């Protein structure tokens, strides 16, 4: 039972999650600025501006740096994982979103289904990946959130 308390009171985890929540809320705001409508589905979306993936993983890396030292092996590991995750978010996952867009277009154009209900279950999610700008903004947001958390709450 002590390990559960240790996990839910771990300031590095709390700071990381806070950074992700800030990014997800900002997605709703940036989408509103862009479209003029509030789309709360962005709160759980894995795409949009800024990247929640980047924000979270960079916040985690930054908080590990503050806690263990920026020259530590665990910081180097976290940094490496952050690079891989951000590369994946704007590479493989963005391409998956583009493929989903094209497949959904083909479903619309050459539909073989008989009803809208059947169509809806065959569509693929298109909001999957990030642009480089979204990843960079998420990374800066992660640094800002982690630093603010560290200066306010400490570790």
With cut-offs at 50, 70 and 90, classify the pLDDT of residue 67: very high
pLDDT at 82: 96
Q: Which of 2-11, 103-112, 145-154 has the lowest mean pLDDT?
A: 103-112
Phi then psi for 124, rounded to 5 degrees? -100, 145
Q: What is the pLDDT of residue 127?
A: 59
Q: What is the pLDDT of residue 153?
A: 93
Domain spans, the chain: 2-91+129-152
Segment 28-47, tens digit of pLDDT? 998 889 888 888 877 777 77
Give the pLDDT mean for 109-126. Answer: 57
Can you give the pLDDT at residue 109?
67
Distance from C-alpha of 104 to C-alpha of 92, rounded to nearest angstrom: 18
Query: What is the reported pLDDT for 94?
Result: 64
Taking only the tens place, the pLDDT of each residue in 4-18 is 998 899 999 999 999
Q: Which of 68, 67, 26 is nearest to 43 (CA)?
A: 26
């709390």: which residue's tokens? 14
The C-alpha atoms of residue 94 and residue 111 are separated, in whole angstroms, by 25
The predicted model gives 51-64 an average pLDDT of: 96
Indicate the pTM of the whole model.
Answer: 0.76
pLDDT of the residue at 131: 85
């Amino acid at each position: 039972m002590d390990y559960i308390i240790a996990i839910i009171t771990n300031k590095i985890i709390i700071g990381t999650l806070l950074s992700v929540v800030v990014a997800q809320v900002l997605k709703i705001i940036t989408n509103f600025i862009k479209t003029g409508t509030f789309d709360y589905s962005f709160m759980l979306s894995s795409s949009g501006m800024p990247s929640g993936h980047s924000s979270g993983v960079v916040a985690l890396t930054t908080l590990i740096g503050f806690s263990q030292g920026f020259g530590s092996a665990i910081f180097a590991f976290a940094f490496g994982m952050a690079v891989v995750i951000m590369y994946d978010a704007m590479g493989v996952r963005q391409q998956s979103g583009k493929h989903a867009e094209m497949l959904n277009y083909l479903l619309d154009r050459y539909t073989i289904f008989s009803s809208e209900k059947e169509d809806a279950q065959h569509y693929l999610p298109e909001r999957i990946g990030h642009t480089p700008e979204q990843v960079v903004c998420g990374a800066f947001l992660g640094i800002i959130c982690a630093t603010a958390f560290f200066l306010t709450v400490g570790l």
